[in-house]
Amino acid sequence: MEILNLAWVFFKIGVISFGGGWTIVGVIQHEVVAAGWMSAQTFADVVAIAQVTPGPVALNAATMIGFRVAGIPGALAASLAVVAFPMLAVALVLVLLRSTRVDQKKLSDAFRVATIPLIAATLVSLSITPSLAWHVWLIAAGSCALSLFTKLDPLLLILGSGVAGAIIAAVRL
Amino acid sequence: MPAGGSVLKAKTFFSLFWAFFVISAVTIGGSYAIVPIMASRLARRGWMEEQGFYDLFALAQAVPGPTTLTTAVFVGQQLLGLAGAAAAFLGIMLPPVVSIILVSLLYGAVAGNPLVQGFLQGSYGTVLGLVAALLVRMLRARKWRIHEVALSLLCFAALLLFRSWALPIVIATVILVRLGALAWKS
């Protein structure tokens, strides 16, 4: 059953989705390409689309991949699966907070240490697997610098670079 | 949950659902864009003070999953119990899931268009740049201890070598970091 497999893969991804979506995009890419659901090139499109539509990037990617694999039922299965474990964790925290004062801070600090290598691994997978044109690298370096040294809205950067990419494509036609 | 503070607008399942639905639908760009908007809207409705909101936001970051979603569910639960949590969940989830299904239908039709491809490639470049910037910020924000640096590097190498084992690798790293912190103290 492709839908069960889809749900299982995204449930597992939900378990390690600490510290925001970017930690797990690399893992999603690996799982999805390994399952033969999509090429790394198409996954790059999914990532770009997930970033310019409302919603958390990991959830958007799950919905879109689920849709490609098994239509609307697939989209719903993958979306619910990726948030299933987080919702269990929320319920658990609420129960724990009611009974005892747990020192969550130390555990979440340990998770933060693991988040950093996950983001680094995401960056590596996203950079090496699809073949990228030279101007994509330039845009990447430029927006990294702009994000670090200015207060420009990231959404403006994403849309601006999209328009720049479309113009470059038009010139090449 | 006893009502605290001034209640300007009735807290019902539907009013909560609608508040989160609107926030989720109009905000693009991840939790760091959406969370301040959520804070100010909740405060303006008189539902929750900003300080109380940011306490819940901090709690949400200790839980896996999209921070926007987990923050909203904590807020919903505090405002209206289980019904509030359900309203927040549906309000946050519906806009992205529906819009992604619509975009997916559209994608099939326009994916071959060179201008669309150009746009997506350009945006993808910025995504890479933003992830790199996020990484730099996180590296700088932390006061690193030696065992944490070593474990991070080890975890990174293991993630690259054994891509299918991300879950056990991350859990092992968290346990080792915790043990390392305990050993450090004694």
Q: What's the whole-model pTM score?
A: 0.79
Model confidence at A141, pLDDT cuts 50, 70, 90, reads very high
pLDDT at A154: 78
pLDDT band at A163 (very low <50, low <70, confident <90, very high): very high
Scanning the structure block, which residue is given the tokens 């555990």? Answer: A107
To 5 degrees, how large is the angle CA A11–CA B66–CA B103?
A: 85
Identify which of B66, B74, B142 has the shortest CB distance to residue A56: B66
Count of residues making up chain A: 173
Q: Do A161 and B26 touch (CB under 8 A)?
A: no
Q: Which of B59, B66, B120 sits opposite A59 (nearest CB)?
A: B66
pLDDT tens string A61-86: 999 999 999 999 999 999 999 999 99
pLDDT at position B20: 94
What confidence tens digit (pLDDT) does each residue in B84-131 have?
999 999 999 999 999 999 999 988 888 888 999 899 899 889 888 988
Nearest beta carbon to residue A53 from set B60, B100, B120: B100
Q: Report yes or no: A50 and A126 within 8 Å, Cβ to Cβ.
A: no
The letter for the amino acid at B105 is L
| pLDDT, mean over chain A | 86
Query: Measured between beta carbons, which residues in chain A are less than 8 angstroms from residue B109?
Result: none
Residue type, A82: V
**Sorting pLDDT into bands at 50, 70 and 90, what band is B4?**
very low
How much is the pLDDT for B181?
A: 79
How many other β-carbons are positioned within 10 Å of the β-carbon of residue B21? 19
Q: Residue B3: pLDDT band by 50, 70, 90 thresholds?
A: very low
* B14 in reach of chain A (CB within 8 A): no
pLDDT digits (tens, 9 = 90+) for A14-41: 988 776 677 788 889 999 999 999 998 8
Cβ pair A112, B151 in contact under 8 A: no
Contacts of A26 in chain B (CB under 8 A): 159
Q: Does B94 touch chain A (CB under 8 A)?
A: no
**What is the Cα–Cα distance from B160 to A62, expressed in whole angstroms?**
22
Query: Residue A108 pLDDT > 80, yes or no?
Result: no
Question: Residue B94 has which token pair?
Answer: 């519906």
Q: Does B65 touch chain A (CB under 8 A)?
A: yes
Q: Which range among A106-115, B45-54, B92-101 has the greatest average pLDDT?
A: B92-101
Between vectors from CA B165 to CA B160 and to CA B170, what angle results, nearest 5°?
85
Does residue B58 have a pLDDT over 60? yes
Q: CB–CB of A57/A153 below 8 Å?
A: no
Q: Which one is predicted more confidently, A124 or A97? A: A124
The Cα–Cα gap between A168 and A157 comes to 16
Q: What is the pLDDT of residue A116?
A: 84
The per-residue pLDDT for B29 is 61
The confidence score (pLDDT) of residue B5 equals: 42
Q: What is the least distance, in Å, from the CA of B15 to any CA of chain A?
A: 20
What confidence score (pLDDT) does residue B80 get?
93
- Within a 13 Å sphere around the CA of A157, how many CA atoms are in the beta-carbon half? 26
- Does A72 sit within 8 Å of B101, measured CB to CB? yes
Over residues B63-92, the mean pLDDT reads 92
pLDDT of residue B65 exceeding 80, the answer is yes
Measure CB to CB from residue A55 to each of B95, B155, B166 and give the nearest one: B95
Q: Which residue of A has its CA nearest to B149?
A: A113
Question: DSSP string covering chain B, please?
Answer: ----S--SS---HHHHHHHHHHHHHH--S-HHHHHHHHHHHHHHTTS--HHHHHHHHHHHHTSSS-HHHHHHHHHHHHHHHHHHHHHHHHHHHHHHHHHHHHHHHHHHHHTT-HHHHHHHHHHHHHHHHHHHHHHHHHHHHS---HHHHHHHHHHHHHHHH-GGGHHHHHHHHHHHHHHHHHHHH-
Which of A27, A39, A97, A113 to mutate against chain B (most B CBs within 10 Å)? A113
Task: For residue B26, count other CB atoms closer than 10 A to its CB.
Answer: 11
What b/e readout covers A20-49, taking b as 16+ CB neighbours within 10 angstroms?
bbbbbbbbbbbbbbeeebbebebbbbbbbb
Of the candidates A56, A23, A5, which has an alpha carbon nearest to the alpha carbon of residue A122? A23
